[in-house]
Structure 1
Amino acid sequence: MTAAGWIDQVFCEDALAGLARIPDGAVDLILTDPPYNLGKDYGNDSDSQTVEDYLRWTEQWIDAALPKLKPNGSLYIFLTWRFSPEIFVLLKQRMTMMNEIIWDRRVPSMGGSVRSYSSVHDTIGFFVRRKDYYFDLDAVRIPYDAETKKARSRSIFVGAKWLEVGYNPKDLWSVSRLHREHPERADHPTQKPLEIIERMVKASCPPAGVVLDLFMGSGTTAIAARRCGRHFVGFELNPDYCAIIAERLAREEQLAAAAPAAAPPAAVAVPAAAKKKAAPRTRKPVLKRSSANS
């Protein structure tokens, strides 16, 4: 298949079947947010498997996806603490683990269990294939505030690069989850903030590189790639979510058309049934995630 057949596409199909569309060694970054197996309703039963079936399925898609990575490629995976130990072991048998990143969702201290501590974070694993993996720290440095710079005004700090360009993000990322009234929020229960996804894309995918997301959800990975000047490819099972992705990408294309440099075209392979406006669905309390999580 030629590049034109899969680059900048989101396919409304099972990733295990669709990965055959992508040549081996063609992807710079795998960035994905698979089901957490917590029983959420994503229009299918992907989040309601037995533990054994869930871990077996996870190993299956990992083994199908990793050959698509370039030798210097990387992988980020969102997980729940309930299964991250087992899945990290699977990945450590195949890759080198660089970080366990904790995403503090800034959940208000209200309610929760009375028999354990409240869970307010997601776990993110950062893995690489070999030592010369691509990583652009300068692209994601966090600027120092004016007060800090002023305090470092002694001569030994003059001209120090780190003081001018900022510091290395730590492995604890405190970024608020997307509340229902948030302007970035789409109709998806476990949508990830663009701030987090863009940081991963900028750091671990070179400009004009390709990001693969096996569980596109609301399409946040595709939007982040588009905004950061990268290409994307991904899969999503739920046709309603595929329609959401198409709408979000269309808005991005409108913004790009008004900008000096237009972004490359994008498409979502949406079944005809999904193109009809979906009836409003009753929201259930958000606990966590499923077959499409970004």
Structure 2
Amino acid sequence: MTDWRDRIFCEDALAGLARIPDAAVDLIIADPPYGLGKDYGNDSDKMDADAYLEWMEQWVDAALPKLKANGSLYIFLTWRYSPEVFVMLKKRMTMVNEIIWDRRVPSMGGSTRRFSSVHDTVGFFAKAKDYYFDLDAIRIPYDAVTKKARSRSIFVGAKWLELGYNPKDVWSVSRLHREHKERADHPTQKPLEIIERMLKASCPPDGVVLDPFMGSGTTAVAAKRCGRHFVGFELNTEYCELIAQRLAALDVNDVEAATVLVDQVKSVPEEI
């Protein structure tokens, strides 16, 4: 199949990954079910621990061959399973970072028998030592006060001062509340700010990102906004239509393109 880029296939990733040639994508961004019993319109998040970890290994082994030699993987996890999944992945790739996503959850009650969980764990893995990484694309600019404080001659012309600093491994980005303008009808939607940072850092311009669990389609939206190509899979047909609508909304004046996107998603199950 040659027209697999810039498409969302409404099917199980394990069944559909064969559509993608090996060594064809630059980056994988994976936000699999966490094994916590969330409702995604199916039973995909209702496995016991052993079955969940076995399934994680299955899709990882199916997805990794699709990466180019200098490709990378970001994977969202819960603290409950990140240790086991990290060990499994470290047998296959090089671990670059453990990133903590601080969801900025307000302090409003919570468990009285443990500390409140307010973060997601993200693993950043690379296929080889020469993995693609564009730090300059994601530097965070210094404010004017900081720049003024670094006005001594030894700082003049310093690249890091002009372009900004390297993002740390704790990313404090608010979760998407129901009233947030970016929010779609999906229980675990990730913010564009996070996905776009991953794309700009680890997928070259005009490169391809694979998302095996598209959900609300944030990876596809981010890719289109950042000048990258995408491909992904999603089991829930309603989410497939949601993705098409979000992509079409990026260019609300292109009515014809919007229709094609929705029809394309709806027609996929018939092609399988």
SS in 1 for 2:252: helix
Map of 1:55-70 to 2, 5 A cutoff? 55-70=53-68
1:219 aligns with 2:214: no
* Cα distance, 1:233 vs structure 2: 0.1
1:6 aligns with 2:4: yes
Q: Work out whether residues 10 and 267 of structure 1, in 8 Å CA contact, stay in contact via their aligned partners in 2.
A: no
* Cα distance, 1:32 vs structure 2: 1.2
User: Unaligned 5+ residue runs, structure 1?
Assistant: 275-294
1:252 pairs with one of 246, 250, 253: 250
**Percent of pairs identical after alignment?**
78
Give, in whole Å, the separation in 1 of the partners of 2:156 and 2:240: 51
Instruction: Give the equivalent residue in structure 1 for 2:171.
Output: 173
Give, in whole Å, the separation in 2 of the partners of 1:231 and 1:179: 28
User: In structure 2, do the counterparts of structure 1 residues 97 and 267 end up closer, same or farther at CA, with 3 Å as the change threshold?
Assistant: farther
Q: Residue type matched to 1:154 in 2?
A: R
Instruction: Give the equivalent residue in structure 1 for 2:33.
Output: 35
* Cα distance, 1:266 vs structure 2: 6.0
User: Unaligned 5+ residue runs, structure 2?
Assistant: none
1:50 aligns with 2:45: no
User: In structure 2, do the counterparts of structure 1 residues 229 and 268 end up closer, same or farther at CA, with 3 Å as the change threshold?
Assistant: farther
User: In structure 2, do the counterparts of structure 1 residues 57 and 170 end up closer, same or farther at CA, with 3 Å as the change threshold?
Assistant: same
Q: Work out whether residues 207 and 229 of structure 2, in 8 Å CA contact, stay in contact via their aligned partners in 1.
A: yes
Q: Work out whether residues 37 and 49 of structure 1, in 8 Å CA contact, stay in contact via their aligned partners in 2.
A: yes
Q: Work out whether residues 8 and 266 of structure 1, in 8 Å CA contact, stay in contact via their aligned partners in 2.
A: no
Give, in whole Å, the separation in 1 of the partners of 2:168 and 2:88: 25
Instruction: Give the equivalent residue in structure 2 for 1:17.
Output: 15
Pairwise CA RMSD: 1.9
Q: Residue type matched to 1:236 in 2?
A: E
Give, in whole Å, the separation in 1 of the partners of 2:134 and 2:263: 29
Instruction: Give the equivalent residue in structure 2 for 1:129.
Output: 127
* Cα distance, 1:142 vs structure 2: 0.1
Instruction: Give the equivalent residue in structure 2 for 1:270.
Output: 265
Give, in whole Å, the separation in 1 of the partners of 2:145 and 2:129: 37
1:194 pairs with one of 192, 196, 219: 192
Give, in whole Å, the separation in 2 of the partners of 1:170 and 1:85: 21
Q: Work out whether residues 27 and 211 of structure 1, in 8 Å CA contact, stay in contact via their aligned partners in 2.
A: yes
Map of 1:110-129 to 2, 5 A cutoff? 110-129=108-127
TM-score (norm 1): 0.87
* Cα distance, 1:175 vs structure 2: 0.3
Q: Residue type matched to 1:214 in 2?
A: P
* Cα distance, 1:133 vs structure 2: 0.5
Q: Residue type matched to 1:123 in 2?
A: T
Tell me which stretches of 4 or more aligned residues in structure 1 moved more than 4 Å.
265-269
Instruction: Give the equivalent residue in structure 2 for 1:163.
Output: 161
